[in-house]
Chain A
Amino acid sequence: MSFLDKLKDFVSAKFNINIHHLINVNVHVTRNDSSRQIEYHEAGRTLTINVEKFTPAQLDEFRPLLRGAVDEDDKIILEKESEALLEDIASKESAGDTTALLHFFKDKIPKEDYSALRAALYVRKSFQEGSNSDVVHKLRNDIIRKYSRRGRNISNLCSSGYFEKMIKPIYEEMKRSPDFSQEEFLEYYNTIIEEEAFAVFVSGGMSTDEVRQEVENKIKRNLRYGISHVSIHGIGRNNVDTIKTVIYELKGRHPMMKVTISESDNIIAAKLRF
């Protein structure tokens, strides 16, 4: 006997409410002074149970029924606000751009990172759609609590669009090489994730002045907090050339600066040490 059949019998026996077809119904448990013990809305397919109005004996009979819904009927009992969030996650993930990006990265990045990316995309979309800043802050903290520093970095990179503008193109560029290996991509990818806070990511459309300004700002900030290096990442011929120009200029101003450049297939990663 299913949970809904048992519930139908319970409602009939205890409250003399006969419901003929209790199928595909949303069951909701509440506690308030205003509604009746049982309210069934056939059109909206909802059955609301107000335990505030139950006698102790009725409660004693209802408890095992609810427990059985989980233990025997595989139902999930979920607080209403979390259900709303669940629906919103499913809705936002089904948007074309999000689905495409998640499809691209599934099985290309570590499983935990993929989960963090899903969460970060949800936070980004919530922010873009004007969610309250406290809500966005709370969601972002959820990511950091679960995925630690790596989750924070993924969230930062995601919110700046670097999974689309940088990491995906890097994968596609590396994939063109006959010597491509997933391990090689992951090594590069890990560097990007790990160094997020110390790095400048150069993407299409940034002028030499903009890149220089961003690198100098990052150098100043890093030095203020005792970090003596800055990384620069870029993809595409123009970006690679821009980065090299900026490094050349910086080298002129900071002769003691040590530069390590790794470049292949129009992808550049430079590390500047002071």
Chain B
Amino acid sequence: MIIRENIITFDSSTRSDVLSCFDKSIDSNGYIVERDSPTQKVITPDGEDIKIEEFAGIRKGSEIFLKSDLPTLIELVDKLN
């Protein structure tokens, strides 16, 4: 069973707000980048760039950025169980 108290949710309309908390911004092509170093794209643990519309969230482990795809969320089920 998922332990929901460990999750803070956000609407897709607040993606940029959430990212700004972690000093990230969006470049002109829609990729998530470091605010202080806009040429540096944020990557997932698989090394993939993330577009703003794919951004599903963040968890600890340095900063692990989550994509909204099925394999990522299946892995997350294991972390939360």
Residues of A near any B CB (own CB < 8 A) = 24-32, 51, 59, 62-64, 66-67, 69-71, 74-83, 85-87, 89-90, 93-94, 115-116, 118-119, 122-123, 139, 142-143, 145-147
Contact = CB atoms under 8 A, between A and B. Distances in A.
Interface of B: 1-2, 4-15, 17-18, 20-22, 46, 55-60, 63, 66, 68-71, 73-77, 79-81
Contact of A74 (B56, B60, B68, B76): B60
Given A29-B18, A31-B11, A90-B77, 4 more contacts: A70-B58, A78-B7, A82-B56, A90-B81
Nearest to B10: A29
A26 B10 contact: no
Given A86-B77, A90-B77, A81 B18 contact: no
Contact of B21 (A67, A118, A119, A123): A67
A30 B14 contact: yes
A260 to B, nearest CB: 36
B76 A30 contact: no
Nearest to B11: A30
20 contacts: A26-B7, A29-B9, A31-B11, A32-B11, A51-B14, A62-B21, A66-B8, A66-B18, A75-B8, A76-B7, A77-B7, A78-B57, A79-B57, A82-B57, A82-B73, A86-B76, A86-B80, A87-B2, A90-B77, A123-B70
